[in-house]
Each structure stands twice: as C-alpha cells, then as structure tokens.
Structure 1
Amino acid sequence: MGLAHRATLRKGQTLLVLGGSGRTGSAAIQLGKALGATVIATARNEDKARFCRLQGADHVIDLSEHDLTQTVLELSGGHGADVIYDTVGGETYEQATRAVSRGGRVLLVGFASGKWGQPDPQHLLFNDYSVSGALALFRSDTERDLTQEALSAFLRDGSITPPVTETYGFDDVPAAIASRSGGAVGQAVVTVTRGAVPQL
C-alpha cells in the first residue's frame, strides 16, 4: 500500500528504508527491489546490517558509524532518496528528510524510536517533498485487492521471500511472542493444527 499506492515508487528510483531489519522494514527492502528501486537501508549494528543485505538492500548504513544524511547523498550521487519509508521516527526522520530528493515522498509507518517523525511545513515547502501516512487499514477494497494480487505474483515468481527465522507450535505462542522483543529480526511463524488450544 505504502510503496506502490501512496509513494508510487518506480523502477530506477532510490528508496531509503529506515529500520531495515524490522518486520515492516525488511518487507519494504524486498518490495523495493521487486519494484525495481535501488534500496538503501539503515541498521544499528553489523548483525542487523547483514540481515538487511540478505533481504536485498543495495547499501546499508550502520547508524552507529556513519552520518545518515551525508551517506545517503553520497550513495545517490547528490540526488537524495526519492522515497523514504520511515519505521523509526525521531531524529532519524529528521536526518533522513535532509537527504530527500526534490519531489520526494516520505511514508510515515512507525516510530520505533518512541517518537513519530515531525514534519516541518517550511522544510516541506522549500525542499519540495511530501509526507503521508501508510496504514493499510484505511485503503479501499480495490486497493487491497490490487495489492494482494501484486504480492501473490511477487511470491510466485520469487521476487519476495518472507524471512521466516523461527517456527513455533501452537502450544508455544507465549514463547513466540516473547521472541519478538529485544530487537529480533525476521519473522516468527506459529503452526496451527485442528483443535489446538494454546497453554497460556
């Protein structure tokens, strides 16, 4: 919904994914590549950076070592990011928008930092970019159908491969939930059999 419908990401453009090792961030990396974009992702340590590369990111910026704004501009030849997919917010949002292209689009998706990105109207105006929310809940049935068809096609041809890193039985639902805390990467899957009741 966000990348295709809201931001109209196109082949040959540059996508910056803030928080690329998270669940929605890793999906954005794979979808960005499937849509033909050059993908730059951010991470906060080498393990998360490695995970972003495994998802297909062309470049990964370790924010513990590099300046986000400067590095994005360098990687894009001074053009900046055409689309920013923000799952982090806070100061990371501010640094990213200093490297957005003219006519760029910023998608607000989450706030892992604890604070939403705060759009600055003057900065928006003088740098000619837009900011919008990207929550699938508020899309039309037609958009949902088109999105489902596109995602199914990408899955069939192998353009996207959800990164399942852990599988749990239904009795282990509490452990599956607990495993998602502490900066976990990838996806946990719970298998369900008929008549299963979790022992909570």
Structure 2
Amino acid sequence: MSKGLFITFEGIDGSGKSTQARLLATLMRDYGDGVIHTREPGGSTGAEDIRRLLVEGDPGRWSPETEILLFTAARRDHLERTIAPALADGKVVISDRFADSTRVYQGVARADLRDTVDQLHTLMIGREPDLTFIIDMDPKVALNRGLARNSGEDRFEDMGLQFQIDLRQGFLDLAKQFPNRCHVINGNQSPATVSGDIQTVIESWLL
C-alpha cells in the first residue's frame, strides 16, 4: 500500500473483538503488508502504564470525567509513539479499541459526557480510523465470557450486566452515526465465521 490504513475493533467486554483483531492482523500479514497490531488503553510504554490505572481496581475508582482524561492521555501517547509513525510509513495499524470506546463508555454508558469526549478528541487526538468493526453480541453471554477470563483487568465487567446492555446500544447507535466507516459484525457466531465476515468486508472495502 502507498499509504497507511487504520483499522479499529470495538464492542462490549467479552465480545471477541481482541481475538478478531489478532486474526485480522495475521490475515493482513499474509498479504505481505507491514502490520502493527496494537490495543487501547495501551499500545505504547506510557499508555500501558496508564492502562493499569484504568482496567484494574474497584469499579468506583475513578469518576467518568477522570476516566476521560486518563484515556485521552493514554491515547495521545499511543498516537504519537505507535499509530502515527506506522501510518506515515505506509503500514496497516489494527487497534483493539480507539476513541469510539471512550465515546460509548464514558460519553454515554457511564455518564452523559459525549460532548466533553468529542471536544477533547478534537483538541488532543484529531484522528479517526479508516475502518471500524463493531463486534455485536448478547451482553449476558459476553459478560460471562469476560468474567470467566479472570484476568484481573475486569473493572468494567464488574459494573454489571445493565452497563454492558447500555454499552451495546451505545455502539449500535455509534454505527448509525458513522455508517461510512463502521461495520457491525454478528459476534454470536463461531470465531471462524466472524473472521470470515470481517474478511469479506475488508476485501470489498479495499477494492
């Protein structure tokens, strides 16, 4: 490719988006393109430090407002250190979450702060993905899956089922807001079938 391509994966906790991001990175590498597989919060040294503050600990550890600032700080470092340099080199960047997660988690599901999220994004990030996959699945199934991982990074899962239901609706509404880049994929299928659906979209999009 003559220019970089920025692809993101979004969805509720336990939806399988991390698995699909990894599978797509493997697929894109088979095509011979330089591929960077990354994640949020994280993806750079500074952002990984902030990640631990966000995904570990008590659900009430931070207010939604504080979370927005922490996520934005992590995202800025991620953008500077990882995403922007890779795109400038013409690479494909595949990120497990980006700004859409903050729009939904802190902007809608936790509090009515979408305007604050968007203002900070414009000021400090100023970059949208080229293509976004929203992995949509049953919130109860996804929550049980997420909690079963027992990863220690389950602060948002600990906010309960209703929170996951609100997140799902937030992501579906977001897909309607950005129809040109957002593709909703049925996550209530086998990982191989989900991956096939994503590959179909990628192939048609690149053509």
Using structure 1 for the length normalisation, give the TM-score.
Answer: 0.36
Q: Which has the larger radius of gyration?
A: 1
